């Protein structure tokens, strides 16, 4: 749960430091500008708030790792087109920046007040609150990498969040070379960056990028 706050706090800080021109740059999400990704983060934070107030008595079915599904190619966001239209509707970057900070800070407060043992329901899954917030460390961290992919000099995700996400990916897909940096494991392992020839040789059976979402 602490990693949830660390990862989201760092992401919100990075968004707050964006310039107006940064919003028009491409992000690491195929087909999305930075403004589209930031709009998606608003929806993510809203989902957290909704889930934290959706308790259930049903048995737990998933945890922070099994919440994510693995496939051979990026699946994309089924609401991607709507997200792009919604992002454009904000008009001025400061409006979008304000909204994501407002909802994101609320998600941080809600997570801090949440009972880690409470069971919550989302997308047909039941998780303990601690497991659900743990799953979202992946969401915040990967999207932080997406946010800064084409923004030289921008601060990336915190090291503990990167390390945790690497653990999740390796539980799902198998181990990556120990010498690789955590960020490279996540970028290549989720198909966000193609491996170099040398990296592909090191990957061996893991040479095909994975999409997790």
- Token pair recorded at residue 183: 């960020």
Quick one: which of 7, 154, 20, 8 has its CA closest to 90?
A: 20
Is the pLDDT at 120 greater than 70? The verdict is yes
Nearby residues of 128 by Cβ (< 8 Å), 6 or more positions away? 60, 63, 116, 117, 118, 119, 120
Task: State pLDDT tens for residues 54-96.
Answer: 999 999 999 999 999 876 544 456 677 889 999 999 989 999 9
Query: What does the alpha-carbon distance between residue 132 and residue 44 come to, in Å, rounded to a whole number?
Result: 13
What is the per-residue pLDDT for 184?
95
Contact at 8 Å (CB) between 60 and 9? no
pTM: 0.93
Structure confidence at residue 212 (pLDDT): 66
Structural domains in the chain?
A: 2-212 (1.20.120.450)
Would you place residue 207 in the very low, low, confident or very high pLDDT band (cuts 50, 70, 90)?
low
DSSP 88-149: HHT-SHHHHHHHHHHHHHHHHHHHHHS-TT-EEEETTEEEEHHHHHHHHHHHHHHHHHHHHT
Measured from the Cβ of residue 160, the count of other Cβ atoms closer than 10 Å reads: 15
Buried b (16+ CB within 10 A) or exposed e, 102-111: ebbeebbebb
Residue 15's closest CA among 35, 32, 1, 43? 35
Q: Is the pLDDT of residue 121 over 90?
A: yes
| Each residue's pLDDT tens digit, 124-172 | 999 999 999 999 999 999 999 999 999 998 999 999 999 999 999 999 8
Residue 174 DSSP SS3: coil
Measured between its terminal Cα atoms, the distance across the chain in Å is 20
- CA dist 192 and 45 (Å) reads 23
């Amino acid at each position: 749960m602490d990693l949830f706050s660390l990862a989201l706090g760092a992401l919100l800080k990075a968004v707050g430091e964006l310039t107006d021109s940064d919003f028009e740059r491409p992000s690491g999400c195929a087909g999305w500008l930075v403004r589209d990704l930031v709009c998606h983060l608003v929806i993510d934070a809203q989902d957290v708030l909704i889930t934290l107030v959706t308790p259930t008595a049903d048995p737990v079915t998933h945890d922070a790792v099994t919440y994510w599904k693995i496939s051979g190619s990026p699946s994309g966001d089924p609401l991607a087109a709507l997200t792009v239209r919604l992002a454009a509707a904000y008009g001025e970057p400061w409006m979008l920046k304000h909204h994501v900070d407002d909802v994101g800070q609320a998600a941080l407060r809600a997570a801090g007040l949440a009972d880690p043992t409470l069971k919550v329901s989302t997308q047909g899954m039941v998780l303990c609150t601690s497991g659900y917030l743990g799953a979202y460390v992946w969401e915040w961290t990967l999207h932080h990498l997406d946010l800064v992919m084409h923004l030289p000099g921008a601060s990336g995700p915190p090291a503990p969040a990167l390390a945790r996400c690497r653990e999740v990916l390796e539980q799902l897909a198998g181990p990556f070379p120990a010498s690789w940096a955590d960020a490279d494991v996540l970028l290549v392992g989720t198909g966000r960056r193609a491996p170099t020839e040398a990296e592909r040789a090191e990957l061996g059976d893991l040479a095909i990028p994975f999409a997790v979402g």
